[in-house]
Structure 1
């Protein structure tokens, strides 16, 4: 035996052995630091996305005020905004375009947020305002207001629309809660489909019986944000804000419910209370939007998928993204409708259906609908 082999420490590597191919060791704490960096980068991307959406919303609001069916030079719009004289441009800007812009922001953000809540609570990727019968309840209330009381103005039937939406949502939740399983996503979807069919049949029967109800309902059914009465906006504004607060506050519970009711309960969440809060927020948001501008299609259906693509599945980020995206979509669709048919206009409900249907078909074909 050689001297070198005797004097060598047994724990030292053998100089005659081939070099080891094991992976290089990672210093302790590096993995945790890398994970924190990824989380921080993701958070920065989401904050940047929210800032860009807020900037896009601001640009959309400016365009909605400066551009319309009537061509008004930008300097004339500025003079109309700064002056107090009752000129034609001043009346158009203050009594038509500014209220219209505000309604677009309120209705779009409410429908976008409500759509994200619906798809989250029902775990249904094609959930929209009609799945809980909210739109049909509001429509039936409007027809009843015209048929029984002869009400025809927006200020008159806004409360009927809002009340009908709330009552129908509560009825669906009560029916869907019956049974041992409680208000499960499948039970809510089935109850909503049944209530929607019943309310739509009653509405059609009343519309066929009365011509005035038919004319009013036909105009309301199209969906329009051309609301010039600030009184209506002031009446609905507190409910939109209340619905947004309830919806954003329900994000942690909604994240837990996405794992299943049993897992959410194991994590310490009150499943019944969380779902009740969510349904209340949906009813208030959709009821407010429908009361303001009628049943606007595809906002609550398409917007959550677009927002989820950028924000991810975390509802703490998804809900603000959906609210801002919905407001931008409604304003831009209304702006296009005012420009392409000058000097007339195409209602925003028609424009959103024309844009939303092909977009949703492409979404289904290419992404196979994101799993919730």
Structure 2
């Protein structure tokens, strides 16, 4: 076992958060933290522990009527002068404190408890969430061992500041190509300015009326926005090409195909190329374990405005939501931190829900 993950540390979710933060694990460099988590889990005879790359899967086999999932990623974004951690009376500061080692610590704390939960539980501690989806540990599990993701309900311990955020939006990106005709800028009338012609596209986007839809009491807001624009050849040349990257965040009642069709309709007349798309996740709050968990939290759920790995479970028909102690507004910042009280209250909620 990693010397920092002693039984005393594993029993204290606050100390465990700090111990995980102090193992540097920028995406692609998760070996050390995965080794430590694996070593912490193996001694627990209640668990079957497997490893796929730097993703650790631990499962109870108690023959309960229902199985639930707790999942947290091990990686962080690149350091920003915020490693190792520091602590004051109220907060732990450092890279990954909010996103999402405080949530991952809760899962590891629960997995190593000397007690039997009321559900069978699958715990995922996975690699490469912060980078391209091909490297994502849950994506690799879904591709090679999808049966391990099967459950009656899943919680992704992403930062939500102690609130339940149900489901998630889908996300789609397209590249819109606007052609022109190159000419010398001194004789601009001989060409056609592709950047100028992109103005109509930008006007459509700025005037777009985004849809709001309520699902299971959660309000999802859509958005269609230009997020990048490129064009131009030189300071004395009329550009013959302009490309605009557009991102559509869509409510989970739309399929990927419906989202793509909607964007093409809005941008009709332009050359639109689909770059990537990931479907959303419906709230799925009707599942019995979900209802019990929301009761344990004691507050109404909100819509998740963003995409998270809950969508991977939803694609398999597994209801999933997001819940974690971190503040999502602090994720990826130099000032990233987590409130100690949120870690403690989150641990208490999950203990009450899992162990009664």
Q: Greater strand share, 1 or 2?
A: 2
Fold equivalence (TM over 0.5) = no
TM superposition score category, shorter chain reference? under 0.3
User: In terms of Rg, which structure is larger?
Assistant: 1
Q: TM-score, normalised by structure 2?
A: 0.23
Q: Which structure's relative contact order is higher, taking Cα pairs within 8 Å and 6+ residues apart?
A: 1
